[in-house]
Structure 1
Amino acid sequence: MSGLLALLDDVAAIAKVASTSLDDIVGQATKAGAKAAGAVIDDAAVTPKYVHGLAAARELPIVWRIARASAFNKLVILLPVALLLGQFAPWAIPPLLILGGLYLCYEGAEKIWHALTHEESHAAIKNPELTAPEQAHLEEQRVKGAIKTDFILSAEIMTIALSQTDATAGWVMQAAVLALIAVVITAAVYGAVALIVKADDVGLHLAETGRTAFGRRLGRAVVRGMPGFMKALTIVGTAAMLWVGGNIVVHALAEMGWTWPYDTIHHAAVAVAEAVPSAAGLLEWAATAAMDGVLGVALGLLIIPLVGLLPGRGKEAGAH
């Protein structure tokens, strides 16, 4: 009997340790996921364009193909690379974060620049009637382009996540945190993308076949509201890219020893917060995000002409 009680005590102790470890994994994953919000929102905002103009029946299979590739890239390629960096070259993480932050700044600023200097031509983006082989070729190109973009954003997400994990917890804990982030973010992003790309079809079905007047009205509202929703999603995604991109660069520079940008923004945000003590926390966050965003725009605009000098980029920009 005493042996059984001792065994139960051991099981209880192991369960307690496991529970604590699980709490730590979830806590670190939540913190790291919040830091990667800009890249995550951008991923969800960018992906729906890759199914635009293709047959409705192919939308979900395309999203599924991209989601599978995204999970593979995060878990099989990027997670081991991130762990190796954390164990053997932690000094490389801040420079990589800066590169990722600059990429987000460039993407956000390029979207703003394109919106200001190009007229939207909806007629130009509609595809003519394509044959089955042409549709298959277009789908393959779209999937490859989406996977390439997702890989860049996934690399940024995993690098940000690695920088937020507890380096003293050991590589097993870091691997568990990164794996949890990879699975949850991939499921959340592509689950949201699937809902977005099928919302029009669901709304149209409700509008045409709804059994109640409310259902039909709801369907028509969804159909009418999706263009505005997509535009709002693009704006939010762009703002998030610029804010998080600037924030990443500022914090990475501080980790490398150049604290002036971080200190300047922090002191200015604190000064703004002190003006309204009752909302100090919210104001400090908003002021920091706004200044990080302005910095992100400035950095992105500086990078745009440099990217234009790269081979092939001029033609690509002209065809945008």
Structure 2
Amino acid sequence: MRLSAALSFISPVQTASNYRYLRINFNQHSKAKLTVGENAALSYVNNIIFKLGIYMAGTNLLTLLDDITVLLDDIATMSKVATKKTAGVLGDDLALNAQQVTGVAAERELPVVWAVAKGSFLNKAILVPAALLISVWLPWLITPLLMLGGLFLCFEGAEKVFAKFLPHDDKSESEGDKLDLVEYEKQKVKGAIRTDFILSAEIIVITLGTVAAATLINQALVLCVIAIIMTIGVYGLVAGIVKLDDAGLYLLNQSKLSANKFKEILGKGLLAAAPRLMQFLAFAGTVAMFLVGGGILVHGIKALHHIQIAVTNYGQTIVGTTGEVLVPLIFDGLLGVIAGLVVVLGHLAYLKIFKK
């Protein structure tokens, strides 16, 4: 009877909790005085229970590993989709950040890029948890915040245009002469990090929209993956772009040592292309500010979005597929220029009225 009572608990051994219950009950029965045969039987049962425990532990481990594999696969898939959707902003981010390094001394280019990259990582460390919290508690706040960022980009773009084409005050020129290189570098880094913050915010929001149906953990993991990939990719490319002239000079020197004509041609080509590329990126960075800023405003204001769609449809009827691609870009750019000019003029009026 005592043996059958102990064996009667084998049937519910299907989960880890039942296994623990069986072990405790079995130990209680094993404390009773048993015959030699009963002791042998109980030892046999104990061995079975032990093997069942190992089997269940192994099964649970395999199930856990399978769940982790599925989770990683989901994250990889969602990250791939999110990367495609943020590719446009990534191009603007690259142009803007490469443009921000122009004017910095050659030996300080990589330290400046590294400083901005660290600032970009810090931006994303702030933005990822903030975006998750806002999406859960205040989802309506995302669009207004993005629009403020878009207006700021338009303002910065218009300010660069004003600085390029409008005459400067003698006072501002004298202040610029007094500005030492260290302070100039700090201002460049701060400006680049500030711009990166807005572009990073847009990338994070686009990514968040892509994985909106996923669990909160998956959303957080995908956002982290995208943030890391984007930062390393953008600033790795920026570092390569700003050092093209050094690479050209190195190849040119190597060609003299080894009499290699190919290295000489490639080196001269890189040296000739580097300044033109930086000039183009400076121009492209300013254009990108208007495009991104205007695009954010269009998507944030429904009336503007409907106008853009109507204009795009009209352009498509005239020039076909080309109009479908170019018209939205032109619309976003013009809107960005107008918004930037309005903000700059408002800023100048504020300075004249309140800071006399």
* TM-score normalised according to structure 2 size: 0.70
Among candidates 106, 110, 115, match of residue 164 of structure 2: 115
- SS of aligned partner of 1:169: coil
2:273 is the alignment partner of 1:225: yes
Q: How does 1:158-307 map to 2 (within 5 A)?
A: 158-164=200-206, 165=208, 166-210=211-255, 211=258, 212-254=260-302, 260-277=303-320, 280=321, 282-307=322-347
Q: CA deviation at 1:276?
A: 4.2
Map of 2:154 onto structure 1: 105
Query: How far has the Cα of 1:63 moved from its partner?
Result: 2.5
- Using the TM superposition, give the Cα deviation of residue 286 of structure 1 relative to its aligned residue in structure 2, in angstroms: 0.9
Structure 1 residue 95, shift from structure 2 partner? 0.9
Alpha-carbon separation, structure 1, partners of 2:141 and 2:263: 55
Structure 1, residues 75-134: CA drift from partner, whole Å, max 9, x if none?
2x2222222222222111111111111111122222233332259xxxx9xx99xxxxx9
SS of corresponding position for 2:86: helix
Contact 1:45/1:234, CA 8 A, preserved across alignment: yes
Give the 3 Å change call, closer, same or farther, for CA 193–10 of structure 1 in structure 2.
Answer: closer
Q: Give ranges in structure 1 of 5+ residues lacking alignment.
A: 129-133, 255-259, 316-320
Tell me how far 1:186 sits from its aligned partner.
1.7
What letter is aligned with 1:307? H
Task: Kindly provide the CA deviation profile for residues 137-189 of structure 1, in whole angstroms up to 9, marking residues without a partner as x.
Answer: 744x3453244223322332332134322333233233223222321222122
Q: What is the CA distance between 1:225 and its match in structure 2?
A: 2.0
Contact 1:29 1:178 in 2 (8 A): no
Q: Which amino acid aligns with 1:274?
A: T
Residues 1:144 and 1:88: Cα distance change in structure 2 (over 3 Å) = farther
Inter-partner Cα distance in structure 2 for 1:15 and 1:177: 15
Counterpart in 2 of 1:49? 102
Match of 2:77 in 1: 23
Q: Secondary structure at the match of 1:167?
A: coil
Partner of 1:156: 198
Q: Among 70, 83, 87, which residue is 2:132 paired with?
A: 83
Q: Confirm or deny: 8 A CA contact 1:87 1:171 kept in the other structure.
A: no
> What CA RMSD, in Å, does the superposition of the two structures yield over aligned residues?
3.2
Tell me what 2:19 maps to.
Answer: none
Local SS of the residue matching 1:168: coil
Structure number with larger C-alpha Rg = 2
Q: What does residue 68 of structure 1 align with?
A: 118
Cα pair distance change 1:40/1:306, threshold 3 Å: farther
Secondary structure, aligned partner of 2:330: helix
8 A Cα contact 2:128 2:204, kept in partner: no
1:182-203: per-residue Cα shift (whole Å, max 9, x none)? Answer: 2122212221222222222221
**How far apart are residue 298 of structure 1 and its match?**
0.9
For 1:248 and 1:108, the matched residues in 2 are separated by: 14
Distance 1:12 1:81, change over 3 A: closer
Distance 1:36 1:174, change over 3 A: farther
Alpha-carbon spacing, 1:150–1:80, altered in 2? closer, same or farther (3 Å): farther
- Check the 8 A contact 1:74/1:154 in 2, yes or no: no
- What letter matches 2:219 in structure 1? Q
Alpha-carbon separation, structure 2, partners of 1:40 and 1:225: 18
* CA shift in 2, pair 1:62/1:265, >3 Å: closer
Q: Distance in 2 between matches of 1:69 and 1:245?
A: 21
Residues 71, 241 of structure 1: CA spacing in aligned structure 2 closer, same or farther, 3 A cutoff? same
Q: Are 1:94 and 2:94 an aligned pair?
A: no
Q: Are the equivalent residues in 1 in contact too, given 2:94–2:237 (CA < 8 A)?
A: no
Cα distance in 2 for partners of 1:88, 1:242 equals 31
Q: Percent identity?
A: 31
- Please give the alpha-carbon distance, in whole angstroms, between the structure 2 residues aligned to 1:145 and 1:10: 50
Structure 1 position 239, deviation (Å): 1.8
Native 8 Å contact 1:36 1:160 kept in 2: no
* C-alpha separation in 2, matches of 1:283 and 1:223: 37
> Do the aligned partners of 1:269 and 1:283 also contact (CA within 8 Å) in 2?
yes
Matched residue of 1:49: which SS? coil
Conserved 8 A contact 2:75-2:222: no
Q: 1:236 to 1:8 in 2, by over 3 A?
A: same
